[in-house]
Amino acid sequence: MRIHFDEAKKIFEIQTNNTTYLMGLAYDRYLAHAYYGSKLEDTDVQYLLRAPYETEFEKYWFNREKVEKMDSLCHEYSAGGVGDFRDTPLMIRTEGGYHACELVYDSYEIMDGKPALEGLPSTFPSEHGAAKTLEICLKDELLCLKVYLRYSVFEDSDAIIRSVKVVNEGKEKIYLERVLSTCLDMDNEAFSLYTLHGSWARERDITGRPVTEGKHIVASLRGETSHQNHPFMMLTTNGTSQTEGRVYAMNFVYSGNFIAETELNQHGYVRMSMGINPTGFEWVLDPGAAFVTPEVVMVYSDTGLGHMTRTYHDLYRNHLIRSKYLHQKRPILINNWEATYFDFDDDKLVDIAREAHEVGIEMLVMDDGWFGKRNGDNCALGDWFVNEEKIRCGLKKLVERVNAEGLKFGIWFEPEMISPDSDLFREHPDYAIQVPGRTPAMSREQYVLDITRKEVRDCVYGRVKAILESANIEYVKWDMNRPLCDIGSYGLDREHMGEFYHRYVLGLYEMQERLLQDFPNLLLENCSGGGGRFDPGMLYYSPQIWTSDDMDPVMRLGIQEGTALIYPLSTMGAHICVCPNHTTGRVTPIETRANIAMAGTFGYELDITKVSEEDLEKMAACNKLYHRYNEIMREGDYYRIASYRETNYYDAFACVTKDKKECLMTFMNVLYRPNRQSIKLRLAGLAPDAKYRLEETDKVYSGDLLMKAGILVEPPMGDFFSKQYHFVME
């Protein structure tokens, strides 16, 4: 890890263990990108700036053709209106209505450590290694505007963390119309762009396409990161696989509207940029005020997708997730939602707890329907008071009864929502997001609370806090079941209404921070109609996020592969579903459902009081395997062995402990093919010279053999067969 500025050559150098990032001054004034890639020892890269400025003729030619020069420069961070006709990361408007902004180099600072971002989730140093930060100041002298580009690196990671601070040092307001967190200009190398797309119940499908001229945009305008798109993109070179090829990746540490854009221009340069979506966004920057953007995590790999994945996993485990549960085995829970929906009472929940304890389940989570007059999804959101027609013994007594059965107790909330049919809405109709005079559109027959307003946050959080203080509640599932629309707030005037979306996210972060400060031992799981808000911003507050409402193991293969491309397995909420599955109608063996759910937090969502004795015995066996293998899954290095989206009939992934002493491979044969041979699978991440024993057969293989020649897997006849293979170093 090294950050250095060469005063003579005017080159900024950022070094991680395996990568180098270089910037320099072009035409003596503009910060330009020179290189990002495999580690370099020789950093004399001024020629890569393509900005000769040494002779009088070169200076004359620059002034004569400045517009063309600005449009072809590989900017590190540019603003609009002065010749860069690509989508620039910064667009402003002055009080006079002008948009031109010219950012020139001003100064720099190299500091030990990494400052936090006020009000925003951000990566942090830890016991795993020191950090260094480079802050470069650019300025527009006419506007009295300064832009601080921040780059942070950690001793134990190849990631580079970027964010931006914009400061108005003038006497007039400046309106920020677009302020992204990062920009990366590079020569095109016949790149392919990969992003994550989907919808409810089929989130984060890995999608690739060639980068062609023009703009390729992935974005959300739903007020959340969304099921449909994800704040992640990567460029790959031809032939990139798990182990080969160059990868440039970006992931946004934010939980609201975002944009991720790749643009190929006339000169063959590619611009990657990422940040808050500028559509519907405008921030009023008063004199003396500052605006700070969320972070972007950049990762480069010259050894394929696998190294990129493991870099993200380790970074988020070591430098983003703060929860005390991060390195702990999560309790095996059972959630009553698909078991009972709204039709339950206290006795039914205790019956579930009693049966669950018999097979080794450790927590009962009471889902939607326990509050207000909630007997369906059309009322009572916001009325966070116990429905004593259902919980007749009272919440405190119910929790005591569940605890007496040997289980911990968790509870579901949807704190950001309000039902039109609720006491809270009848008392405070202005608390809902709305445009005055217009009836807001409903989704799931509910509105969204305007948590940009402090009084609304205080009201709803106070009710949630009172419930959590009333009983021994050890887990909260925080849900959010609809997007935002009809944007309007009684707390913002006309000039500041463009700040709404970002202020909403800041309000969400504030509420969750209060929750964790008031209840430091709470296990928090975020959720948004399944996986609609699975992003690094949420991981700062909760060590796990509900991955998808679809628990069918076949669908989960793709959902969890796309999620695990960036996020550790320990962050993925995953349960064993009832069969037939309530989303797909598919029937799968309980062992298969368990094996896929173990690649996550592991739990159940079914009515255990109606499960057969045979399946109860299988559940008990699966729970024992979870305890046996969880540390490998939770802390180990993840390797993608085969992908169902590529093979069309089988899937395999493995986790290897950091010391390489254990490997657990999970295999699933989705569709049986007649008249075929056994499947050869090559493992990864093992010690080549070590010997590994396959527990099931006691057969011993060398690590080198397992990785180069592989093992043979012979699935039995039939669909949806899954098996785990545990290798232990001799």
> Known catalytic residues?
479, 549
C-beta of residue 217 within 8 angstroms of C-beta of residue 107: no
C-beta of residue 365 within 8 angstroms of C-beta of residue 336: yes
Strand runs labelled E in 533-581: 544-546, 572-573, 576-577
Map tokens 């729970």 to a residue: 623
Report the alpha-carbon distance of residue 330 to residue 333 in Å, rounded. Answer: 9
Does residue 634 sit in helix, strand or coil? helix
C-beta of residue 644 within 8 angstroms of C-beta of residue 580: no
Question: How many alpha carbons fall within 13 Å on the CB side of residue 237?
Answer: 15
Beta pairing class for 363-366 and 333-335: parallel
Q: Distances from the Cα of 614 to the Cαs of 359, 520, 576, 619, in angstroms?
A: 12, 40, 16, 9
Q: Determine whether 126 is exposed, middle or buried from the number of CB atoms within 10 Å of its CB (0-12, 13-18, 19+).
A: middle
Report the alpha-carbon distance of residue 156 to residue 324 in Å, rounded. Answer: 21
Cα 700 to its chain centre, rounded Å, is 39
| DSSP state letter for 97 | S
C-beta of residue 61 within 8 angstroms of C-beta of residue 74: no
Report the alpha-carbon distance of residue 485 to residue 223 in Å, rounded. Answer: 8
Q: Distances from the Cα of 138 to the Cαs of 50, 148, 198, 274, 360, in angstroms?
A: 20, 6, 39, 19, 59
- Is the preceding omega at residue 715 within 30 degrees of 0, hence cis? no
C-beta of residue 516 within 8 angstroms of C-beta of residue 533: no
Phi, psi of 353 (to 5 degrees): -60, -40
Q: Determine whether 111 is exposed, middle or buried from the number of CB atoms within 10 Å of its CB (0-12, 13-18, 19+).
A: middle
Residue closest to 663 by CA, chosen among 591, 590, 724: 724
Tokens for 515, please give them: 């929750």
Q: How many CB atoms lie within 10 A of CB 255?
A: 30
Report the alpha-carbon distance of residue 561 to residue 638 in Å, rounded. Answer: 11
